Each structure stands twice: as structure tokens, then as C-alpha cells.
Chain A
Amino acid sequence: MPQNARAEAGVSTLDSDEDLVARCREQRDEAAFAELVRRYRDRVFRLALSILGQGFAGEAEEVTQEVMLRVHHSLASFRGEATFGSWIYRIAFNQAVNLKARVRYRAPHVSDEALASVASHEASPHDRLQAARRSEALHECVAELPEVYQSALRLFYWMGVSVAEVAALLDVPENTVKSYLHRARQLLHAMLHDRGFHE
């Protein structure tokens, strides 16, 4: 919604989520709902994408749309025990995990562009090939990790999201995110070692 339209509808970017939710529930205020969508759509999309992985942008967008529809239909039952953010992220996480179970048969896709960008840092053709293979193996290993580890890794490394924001998206403390990342790196190191990739 453009800024002028928001102002006309009496919705401000300064309104808290709680105020907007109350207006949606009590007055069925569509402008307030549009503002909530504007605030959360990109974060929900990133969270869904972090669970589904690279090559699943279309599915992540589908999840984002379903989450917004579900929120719109269920706002009346939202009791405010958790923050609106935690509630919407939980819905998004579950929705993305459910969709992932349905599309699991699809192999994880790593674009040629991504592989080329990895390879270009290395000097010799052998090193470039090794780096590209390691990158592919790394993506496969990441896909074998528990969902929260995968999500934390992709948010942090792929999307450049800060630890604080990863914590908010996964609804866990920051130290837990740091622990997820640390544990995930340990597991990846062991998995890559088993596949014959050494330093």
C-alpha cells in the first residue's frame, strides 16, 4: 500500500503490531491488515525459503501467500499470548515444513551461477573443480541436517540475516541460534570428511 493510501486509511508505520491486530479483529480493518502484510511478507518469504532451500522460490512465495490467507482467516482466534511476529513465523515454519515434505522428491538445485561464483575464487582448474564439487556436496549435506539447522544456516549465510533476526524468525534466543550454527558446522565438517573432502 503506498504511503498516501496508508495515511488516508488511518494506518501509520508507527502503529504497533498489537494495534493493527486489534483493528483487524474488532473493525475488520483491511488497511490495518495490508500494513501487517507489508511488514511481514518479506520476512515470511525468507523464512519459507530458508526451509525449502535454493531453487524453491516459487514454492516459498506460495507458502507466503498461504500464510497471509491463514492469518487473515484466523486473526479472530489469535489470543495474543505470543507476539504477532512469533505467531506468524510459527505458521510459516509449519507451512513450509509441510510443503517440503510434499516436494521432497525434487533434488536440491544449485544454480550454475552459484557454482561458477564458487569456482572463480580458486586458482587452478583442479582447485576450481574441487571447490565446485565441495560446494555441491555441501548443499547436499545441508539438506540432510535437521530443519532448524538448515533454516539457520541458509538465513545466516545465504540471506545475510543477522543472528538477532534469525532468532526472531525461529522464535528462539540468540544463543540458541549461535549454538545451532556451531553444531551445524560441526556436523557438516564430519559429513564432508566422510565424503572425502578434507582441508
Chain B
Amino acid sequence: MNEQENVDQWLRDAMSGSTPRLSAAFDARLEKRLRPRRLTPTGRILMAAYVLAAILVSAWALRNAALDWTVVAAVLMASAVAATFYGRRIKASAR
């Protein structure tokens, strides 16, 4: 037997154990990871309430800083646009 045949036989002997297989739960786990995560109805109500409260508090704070209503509106609009833009970017990168 030459060296190639020897090592070939040793490899066959050493690697004769059974090969593992994917677990039966693989498909279900993958499907769960692929499913888009959505807020529950309660979660949506809470989120909407939080956003509304944040807008009101911000408007009140900006008005107390003696800013004009036009400036307050512009700052709030700019914040909303920025939040929408970054939200979309995060969503796209998670896809």
C-alpha cells in the first residue's frame, strides 16, 4: 500500500461516524425569524400616545423658550421628517 492509500484508509476509518442532520425544528425557527415583527394593538396605542405626548411636551418647551409658533412648527416638522427617514433606513437595513 502506498502512502496515499494508507491515509485514504485511515481517513475512511477515522471519519466513519454518523453525520448529524438539521434538527426538525429548523424550518419553524427560520420562519419565526423571517416573520416581520409587528406591534400588538395595545402596543400601537401606547406608541401613538407616547408620540403625541412627546410632541405636546416639545411644543410647550419650545414655546417657553420664547420661540415663535412658526419656528416651533418647523422644528417639530423637521424632527418628524428625520424620524421617518431614519425609521425607513433601519427597516431597509433589517430586511
Contacts and interface: CB of A to CB of B under 8 A. Distances in A.
B20 interface: yes
Contacts of A26: none
Contacts of A65: 26, 29-30, 33
A100 interface: no
B39 interface: no
A138 interface: yes
A42 B16 contact: no
Nearest to B17: A114
B70 interface: no
Contacts of A192: 7, 10
A186 B4 contact: yes
Contacts of B4: 182, 185-186, 189
Q: Which of B12, B19, B21 has the most CB of A within 10 A?
A: B19
Categorize the interface residue count of chain A: 35 or more
Interface string A61-94: 1001100110011001000000000000000000
Interface in B18-68: 18-23, 26-27, 29-30, 33-34
B11 interface: yes
Given A45-B22, A61-B22, A139-B14, 13 more contacts: A54-B17, A57-B20, A61-B26, A65-B33, A69-B33, A69-B34, A72-B34, A114-B14, A117-B13, A154-B15, A157-B11, A158-B19, A159-B19
